[in-house]
Structure 1
Amino acid sequence: MADAMEMLQGVQGETTCSICRSYFSEPVTIRCGHSFCRACLSSTWRVEARAISCPECKKVSQVRELPAVNERLVHLTELGKQLHSQLLQSSQGQSQCARHKEIFKFFCEDDQTPLCVRCSQSPEHQTHRLSPIEEATHSFIENLQHIWNHWGKCFEKAEKDLAQKKPVVDWQWMITEEFNKAHCFLLEEESLCLEGIRQGQRASQDRISQHMRILQDLMLELQEAGKEPNLELLQDVKQLLRRSESVLSHWSKDVIPELREYRIPGMVEMLRQFRVDLTMDPVPASPWVVVSEDLKSVNAGEAWQVETKDPEYSACYAVLAKQAFSSGRQYWEVDVTQVPQWILGIYAPYLRRKRQRNVDFCASLFLLQCVKKEEVYYFQSDPGPLKLQMKGPVPRVGVYLEYSSGTLGFYNVLQSSLIYQFPSIPFAAPVTPIFSPGPPLPGTKAGPMTLSPVDSHLCVCCSSPL
């Protein structure tokens, strides 16, 4: 038996493919003398390779065609299989059931174990799928061969796909085209906005020029009236004074430009990826404001009475955020629907001395204030030159802070438009958001100024959060 096993091992070594480690299937022998299954050798030779090599000894050959099937090796492989089968049958006596000492005759498909005749008749295997050992072995070999052939085809397909210069779907081109379309669309929108700004500037200059002509005419009339006799002067003075008061009352409305809502598509959506979850300091900077228990809103106290119009002074009646920032990009939104007058901005305790665009950066507060007079809302910055008017309120304000570039911008969230952006601020220390819900209008009780949740959105049709 030992001699037979040694012979079988020798035959197996000569009839086994070194690639798949199984008996040869359509064996071919290349020039270096090594043999392989035809399919195995084909799968290892790349289509685009200029030279092919032996998978075993790596010897390069310039011949690309597969050799013919080695018939003598086919015959030797069949003899090896027969010898293996005979030895398996003769050695079955050594593979016995440990319980009944009988040769295994069946294979349980459910338990994946060999069984003798008596085991196969036991109650525990009555409902199981049983097959003769030879049949089960043959079935497993067929399954393995099927899997091998399937993966061989997959490998060949992968080789062909890899050899292609372009992918089946050119995602790089499609994504580039989408960004190009978005870029062209934004350029068109930018052009429209810039043209609107130029038209607004011309209209504003025309209004100022017209108002100056009216003032000049009125001044001439006043000078001429001063030369008239007393009686005639008394007859005309009431009309001149009435006209003067009317001209002066319209001065601010005519001269102060209107805040135009230049919509920037996608701006707010882009900024929202930098949203931070802010909370307010439970100990406010002033006793005139009251912070809510959840630290998300602040109200003006009942005793708050402010006579001054100075935004920086009004900011003393404010509350700071608990968070401070010294890097990165941050964005937060504040609901001011119930607050007719308010102040938003940041507190920067230390700055590098710098002066840009008529803005002195020695200040430590950078604020945007909304003031209501009659039915008109006025927006002004401190520091800075901003002074604009608007007929309606802004329900929600977005604030964007980029520390490294010193960017601080304020946005009308509902219209996705810019209200104001400070020039580059030379931050030198952590900065803290600041909120002031006032000054309150005389005789009114303002509601809270509220930090919007990071996952909330504003409904355009009703100006309410969703």
Structure 2
Amino acid sequence: MASTGELLKELQNEITCSICRGYFCEPVTIECGHNFCQACLSSSWRVEALAFSCPECRRVSHHREIPIVNRRLAELTEVGKELSSKLMQSTEGQSQCVTHKKPFKLFCEEDQTALCVTCCETPEHGAHKISPIQEAAHKYKRELQHIRSLLGNHLEEDEQLLAQEEKPAVDWSSLFSSECYKILNLRLKEKNLELPERISQEHKANQDRLSQHMQTLQDLMLELQALAHQPNVDLLQDSKQLLRRAEAVLSQRARAVTPELREYPIPGLIEILNRFRVDLTLDPTSADSCVSISGDLKSAKAEEDWQVETKPPEHFPLHYVFAEQAFSSGSQYWEVDVTQLPQWVLGIYTPYLKSRRRRGKKGTCTSLFLLQCVKKEEDYYLRTYPGPLNHRMKSSLPRVGMYLKYSPGTLGFYNVLQRSLIYKFYSIPFTAPVKPIFSPGPPLPGTKPGPMTVCSVDSHLCACCHSSQ
């Protein structure tokens, strides 16, 4: 005859969702007879490759809607939870210390082990932080719930990102095709014939990486849910390691969900742009105490007054300096050496733009068009403002080229070393002179960044040594 514990375990198996590994919450039953939490099934059917298959047996469902809640199973779940809670309370503390044959009552934070009263009197744990098991378990349950909530929020955001990947924010194929035609007056051919296929393959790789990350989040959420229902002694012994794993996954989220900026070299690109090269100097009157300008008016450098706070780099206040020159016609190209800067901002400023109307309402236009580089961990991230670019790079850029065409209003940013387009703003409605702007920061905590230098017209980047020749 089965024991009470065995019967309870069998009941728990019947009222546990195989997706979240926790007790059913609003359980539903699908065609094949398997049961799941309503929310878990909905999430699974949005994320899985086989959108309407059973997460357990993979049988395809012919119904396209989530079933209604199985009330009888919901009632059985509540009964099972109550029985399980009473049994755990009656057996709490029966686990014994092997050495002293006394029940576990305390928990050592340093060693992550349950202790009896006698264990605490030994020199081994004398200087350690000791807490009552109930108190320590309550603390870890709160932490488990908090981290599970974070994972859930990120999973929802990643689902939206994956849906958006069906129509990427940046159409790289069109962008590079247009660049070749408009700047070089040629169409994609010869070496560039394979470009659309390469872009498509890399886009698919981005989708796969994001899906993989989402699966990792789901697996962690299942483990966290299962651990939360374990007896206190088991929960305490496993919580810290699982929490560390979850935190490690969250810390790597930016790398997992941010696509890598690919380099698509365009032969002859920089040589063509150099025909529009202009000699810029920095305006010393535009600098505040956070930025200093060199005597030759070619370099800007972050000073000690630029206070670095413990906030994400994108939230730092930025300090700009302007070029002395302003442009109100024609085409201009200049390059900026950012080799010694982990973080920087480049762009243009114009005080007035033509207003645009949308659906009968007067629209507003930004007066800044920027490319920002931010460093996180070992990676660099490039972002545009305004605009959709938010991509990751494995290494920093030594030099950035900028091409401004006043009419019809375009601004392009280029990776000079790789002879590749980074991003291009189109159809900017200029009505007033445009000034280049520069921001040599924010500096990273504990570092002394070098200068941001506007390159002279006769300075060219050597691909073999990254230096000016």
TM range (shorter): 0.5 to 0.7
- Whether 1:244 and 2:242 are equivalent positions in the alignment is no
Can you list the C-alpha shifts for 1:166-189, whole angstroms capped at 9, x where unaligned?
Answer: xxxxxxxxxxxxx9xx98884234
Quick one: distance in 1 between partners of 2:244 and 2:262?
Answer: 32
Aligned to 1:348: 350
RMSD of equivalent CA atoms? 2.3
Give 1:267 shift.
Answer: 0.9
My pick for the range that moved more, 421-430 or 185-194, is 185-194
- TM-score between both structures, scaled by the size of structure 1: 0.57
Q: Which structure's CA Rg is the greater one? A: 1
1:314–1:438 CA contact under 8 A, matched in 2: no
Secondary structure at 2:449 match in 1: coil
Unpaired runs of 5+ residues, structure 1, are: 1-178
Q: Indicate which of 417, 421, 425 corresponds to 1:414.
A: 417
Partner of 1:323: 325
Map 1:41-120 to 2 at 5 A: none
Shift of 1:353: 2.6
Contact persistence 1:311–1:382 (CA under 8 A): no
Contact 1:276 1:331 in 2 (8 A): yes
Report the residue type matching 1:351 in the other structure: L
Match of 1:128 in 2: none
Q: Please list the CA deviations of residues 309-352 of structure 1 after superposition, one character each: whole Å capped at 9, or x if unmatched.
A: 5769644x111011111111110001111222111000111112
What letter matches 1:336 in structure 2?
A: V
**Structure 1 pair 184/324, CA: closer, same or farther in 2 (3 Å)?**
closer
Provide the rounded CA distance (Å) in 1 between the counterparts of 2:357 and 2:230: 53
In the alignment of these two chains, the number of paired residues is 282
Instruction: Among all aligned residue pairs of Structure 1 and Structure 2, give the percentage whose two residues are the same amino acid.
Output: 62
State the alpha-carbon separation in 1 of the partners of residues 204 and 364 from structure 2: 31
Q: What does residue 174 of structure 1 align with?
A: none
1:389 correspondence with 2:392: yes
Distance in 2, Cα, partners of 1:221 & 1:379? 35
TM superposition shift of 1:458: 0.7
Q: 1:427 aligns with which of 427, 430, 447?
A: 430
Give the equivalent residue in structure 1 for 2:286: 284
Whether contact under 8 Å (1:342, 1:438) holds in the other structure is yes
Task: Name the counterpart of 1:255.
Answer: 257
Offset of 1:224 from its aligned partner? 2.0
Contact 2:314 2:374 in 1 (8 A): no
SS class of match (1:233):
helix
> Which residue does 1:70 correspond to in 2?
none
Alignment-derived partner of residue 454 in structure 1:
457
Which residue does 1:227 correspond to in 2? 229
Q: CA deviation at 1:355?
A: 8.4
Cα deviation 1:226-275 (Å, max 9, x = unaligned):
22222222232223212212221221111111111111111111111011
1:372: Cα distance to partner?
1.6
Letter in 2 for 1:301: E
Partner deviation per Cα, 1:95-141 (whole Å, 9 max, x = no partner): xxxxxxxxxxxxxxxxxxxxxxxxxxxxxxxxxxxxxxxxxxxxxxx
Q: Distance in 1 between matches of 2:461 and 2:435?
A: 25
| 1:362 to 1:309, Cα distance in 2 relative to 1, 3 A | farther
| Between 374-383 and 260-269, the greater mean CA deviation after superposition | 374-383
Which of 392, 406, 431 aligns to 1:403? It is 406
Q: Where in structure 1 do 4 or more consecutive aligned residues deviate above 6 Å? A: 182-185
> Any conservation in 2 of the 1:337–1:395 contact (CA below 8 Å)?
yes
Distance 1:278 1:266 in 2: 23
TM-score, normalised relative to structure 2 = 0.57
Shift of 1:218: 1.4
**Where in structure 2 are there 5+ consecutive unaligned residues?**
1-180
The residue type equivalent to 2:344 in the other structure is W
SS of 2:209 mapped into structure 1: helix
In 1: Cα distance, 2:198 partner to 2:430 partner:
33
CA contact (8 A) 1:437 1:448 kept: yes
- Pick aligned residue for 1:365 from 361, 364, 368: 368
Specify the code of the residue in structure 1 equivalent to 2:306.
W
Secondary structure of the residue that 1:283 maps to in structure 2? helix
Q: Which moved more, 1:410-419 or 1:443-452?
A: 443-452
Residues 309/213 of structure 1: CA separation in 2 closer, same or farther (3 Å cut): closer
User: Which has the bigger relative contact order, CA under 8 A and spacing at least 6?
Assistant: 2
Q: Is the 8 A contact 2:313 2:442 kept in 1?
A: no
